[in-house]
Structure 1
Amino acid sequence: MSSRDDSPAATLASAAAALDGAVVGVALAICAASSWAGYFSTSAALRRIAAAPSPRISDLRSLLPASDSDEDRDGPLVVVRGAVSALKDQIVSQSSGERGVIVQHTQTFLYNEWRGVFGWSYDLCTFIGRTWKGPRSCSVRSVPFVLVDGGRWPHSGTVHVSLDGSSHPLPLTTVYHHLHPVQATPYTFIQAMFGKGYAVGVLDEEKILRVGEEITAVGICRTQHGTLEIKSCPELPCFLSNMTKDEIEADLADKTSILFWSSVVLGTVSISILSYAVVRNWRRWKSWRQSRRQNQELHDDAQVLSSSDNESQDVPDGQLCIICLMRRRRSAFVPCGHLVCCPSCAMSVELDSSPKCPMCRQHIRSSIRIYDS
């Protein structure tokens, strides 16, 4: 790792260890709070899905509330499983030639980093790795489709699937995956010389939702213009899934358990670190205040003593303080016993980090005020 990368790392390490680990404690507390939030949302979703009915598609209309008006109304949360069937012409994958109702094509640029002749590094890439993903473009095509409850549509129950406003992941199957290398150009060579990231390949992926595939829909059942439809629920973590209801509940139960124990561990560690940091900094602050108060008292005493000794005009040269050369020698150092300083200068010597007698350079413990008889 170069010195350019060492500097941010050292800065981060010193910031994390600041205030006896208080920064780390706060970061862990934020992670614990996030885990608690995830635990409560996931457990609430688990309870809703476990309590939701899972009828046959042909029996969904019996669950909808009776309404005398012609307005469309949302029904209950249901979990239904059926086979995918297209209402219109199916979409043909351009890469694999397979047919489906949803086709997602993703193109991702892969970048590589080299230090170059000048030894420069590209940001903090050494923390991420030598190769990482760059910008990506994604296009999704879909046609209206329904879930069929056994047999062949339209001779069995069907429910329309509405993807409007849904941000949940789709249970797509990868049918095409290919890496295309990018040919080097003179501009690439210049980028490499200066240590800049340059593209080394393009990853093409294509995923589809096949016709006839068995999937589970977890959403709100309603009638839309007289047609039975199921739409996603934003509060739930999934909408369409390859798993059955029991598998979805088991997966959410595992996530709930992981989030619970991770939040407990992170919360305990963060509380311990923050408590330690608070106690250490409180004691340090108290010690600093006590030391400041003692220094202030010593300074005040020295000022009082020096004001009472304001007789510099009558002091012979042999009795002047060897530091200030203004006041009479009144304080003797312990243990050397040299009487060479006035009280004010003696206090200044005592408050030094390594107090030594200005005459013999011996380490001193204190000073004693000497009075004339």
Structure 2
Amino acid sequence: MSSHEQAVASLISQLALSFDGAVLGAALAYAALRTIFRFKATSTALRKIRGAPYFRVADLRSLLEEDRSDSHEEPIVVIRGAVEARSATDLRSLKSLKSNVLVSQESGDKAVIIQRTQTYIYHEWRGLFGWTSDLRAIIGRSWNKKESTSMRTVPFILVEGGQWPQSDFVIVNMNGSKHPLPLTTVYHQLHPINASPYTFLQALFGHEYPVGLLDEEKILPVGKEISAVGICGFSNGVPEVKACKELPYFLTDMTKDQMLLDLAFKTKILFWSGVVLGSLSIGILGYAFVRNWNKWKERRLRRFQQAANAATDDSTLQMDLDEELGDVPDGELCVVCLMRRRRSAFIPCGHLVCCQHCAVSVERELVPKCPVCRMAIRSSVRIYAS
């Protein structure tokens, strides 16, 4: 870790522990709240998927017709079927069938979704001058987009595996869906990048430079068995399933039982994470509150004591001044102001030659010395005549 990164890490740790850990407690409380919200959303999704009926494509039409006669709401169902291009429903045109199915360039498989991703791999090292990229360069690299993704899709349906084209089908509506897709990787290759003079300069001064290009292709092949979880209804008399934003799945390789196990495990993890983070945040915030409250009371008490002492000193000094400004013999006058009576003796020399006001003034000098013997003094003491 470079000196810049160490300085930034030290600054972040000091900021987190500032106000006796109040900032750290607030950050943990924010994380606990986010965990609680995610736990609530996951629990809701678990209840909905547990209550959703699990059907094959061939049995879906009868279910929808019964539910439509009983209720106006579209039900959430789990459908298991095989992927097929939408154009396969039109058996009258073989040309249409061929033109509406995607073909992978690498594997030659037929697919309805093809995703191509190219990611640059960067390398860092300490240059010849001992320099290295600091934390700002790492953050800046995360801000810059280092990969490009392209996706091609065609309309597709779910059919009963092994019985198509005699069985029914369900249209998959992908509009507005941001859920992850059950894609299969068919191509994964790392290509080296030829070095250039500019790359040599980057390496010389310790900056990051690309060393490879990761090319990856994923597809949703025709005939793959997947599950669709969402709202099911009729579109022009044909069953259609579309995504539900409240559910974490839409198209997945998992069955209903596997989804329930996955959500139950995530629910437990989120629950105990929320409990731990909440307990830590409450403990740290409580500790920070008590410490800051005690400090505030100490500062307040100290201010009151200072104000009381200042008032007492002012009143005592004023009484002494009033007393000492009377008729004072010449032998008892202060050698500094020649107006007030000698009241303060210097330590360690012991000379009683100044009034209290002038003695305090002498003590506040950069190098305090006795006005008579010029000896260094440490303090003065008020002398009272009995």
TM-score class normalised by the smaller sequence: 0.7 to 0.9
Does the aligned pair in 2 maintain the 1:338–1:359 contact within 8 Å? no
2:118 aligned with 1:107: yes
Cα deviations across residues 260-303 of structure 1 (Å, max 9, x unaligned)?
Answer: 00000000011001100110111011111111211121112212
Correspondence for 1:148? 159
Q: 1:145 to 1:123 in 2, by over 3 A?
A: same
Correspondence for 1:11? 11
Does the aligned pair in 2 maintain the 1:305–1:344 contact within 8 Å? no
Please give the alpha-carbon distance, in whole angstroms, between the structure 2 residues aligned to 1:279 and 1:348.
43
Please give the alpha-carbon distance, in whole angstroms, between the structure 1 residues aligned to 2:350 and 2:179.
85
Q: 1:315 to 1:241 in 2, by over 3 A?
A: farther
SS at match of 1:169: coil
Please give the alpha-carbon distance, in whole angstroms, between the structure 2 residues aligned to 1:123 and 1:18.
24
Q: 1:320 to 1:235 in 2, by over 3 A?
A: farther
Q: CA deviation at 1:21?
A: 0.9
Correspondence for 2:169? 158
SS at match of 2:55: coil
Correspondence for 2:318? 307
Please give the alpha-carbon distance, in whole angstroms, between the structure 1 residues aligned to 2:15 and 2:44.
37
Does the aligned pair in 1 maintain the 2:123–2:209 contact within 8 Å? yes
Correspondence for 1:2? 2
Letter of the structure 1 residue corresponding to residue 85 of structure 2: A
Correspondence for 1:255? 266
Aligned residue pairs, count: 357
Correspondence for 2:356? 342
Correspondence for 1:237? 248
2:275 aligned with 1:280: no
Letter of the structure 2 residue corresponding to residue 80 of structure 1: I
Does the aligned pair in 2 maintain the 1:109–1:199 contact within 8 Å? yes
Does the aligned pair in 2 maintain the 1:112–1:200 contact within 8 Å? yes
> Which shifted more, 190-199 or 260-269?
190-199
Q: How does 1:49-198 map to 2 (within 5 A)?
A: 49-64=49-64, 65-66=67-68, 75-88=74-87, 89-124=100-135, 135-198=146-209
Q: 1:191 to 1:359 in 2, by over 3 A?
A: same
- Higher radius of gyration, 1 or 2: 2
SS at match of 2:14: helix
Q: CA deviation at 1:112?
A: 1.5
Q: CA deviation at 1:321?
A: 9.2
Does the aligned pair in 2 maintain the 1:92–1:99 contact within 8 Å? yes
Q: 1:132 to 1:174 in 2, by over 3 A?
A: farther
Q: 1:344 to 1:3 in 2, by over 3 A?
A: farther
- Structure 2 unaligned residues grouped into runs of 5+: 88-99, 365-374
Please give the alpha-carbon distance, in whole angstroms, between the structure 2 residues aligned to 1:62 and 1:303.
98
Please give the alpha-carbon distance, in whole angstroms, between the structure 1 residues aligned to 2:24 and 2:362.
40
* Higher percent of residues as helix: 2
Letter of the structure 2 residue corresponding to residue 342 of structure 1: Q
Does the aligned pair in 2 maintain the 1:147–1:161 contact within 8 Å? yes
Correspondence for 2:278? 267
RMSD: 3.6
Letter of the structure 2 residue corresponding to residue 87 of structure 1: R
Q: CA deviation at 1:79?
A: 0.5
Q: CA deviation at 1:204?
A: 0.5
Please give the alpha-carbon distance, in whole angstroms, between the structure 2 residues aligned to 1:338 and 1:152.
118
Q: 1:338 to 1:154 in 2, by over 3 A?
A: farther
Please give the alpha-carbon distance, in whole angstroms, between the structure 1 residues aligned to 2:47 and 2:234.
25
Correspondence for 2:210? 199
Q: 1:348 to 1:270 in 2, by over 3 A?
A: farther
Q: Which 4+ residue blocks in structure 1 deviate beyond 4 angstroms?
A: 125-128, 130-134, 311-322, 324-341, 343-350, 367-370
Q: Percent identity?
A: 52
Please give the alpha-carbon distance, in whole angstroms, between the structure 2 residues aligned to 1:281 and 1:321.
50
Cα deviations across residues 281-332 of structure 1 (Å, max 9, x unaligned)?
Answer: 110111111112111211122122222233469596976499x998655467
Correspondence for 2:369? none
Q: 1:123 to 1:321 in 2, by over 3 A?
A: farther
TM-score by length of 2: 0.81
Q: 1:14 to 1:58 in 2, by over 3 A?
A: same
Letter of the structure 2 residue corresponding to residue 172 of structure 1: L
Q: CA deviation at 1:47?
A: 0.4
Cα deviations across residues 216-259 of structure 1 (Å, max 9, x unaligned)?
Answer: 11000011122211000011111011110010011000000000
Correspondence for 2:384? 371
Q: 1:288 to 1:132 in 2, by over 3 A?
A: closer
Cα deviations across residues 64-97 of structure 1 (Å, max 9, x unaligned)?
Answer: 3447xxxxx8621001111112233421111222
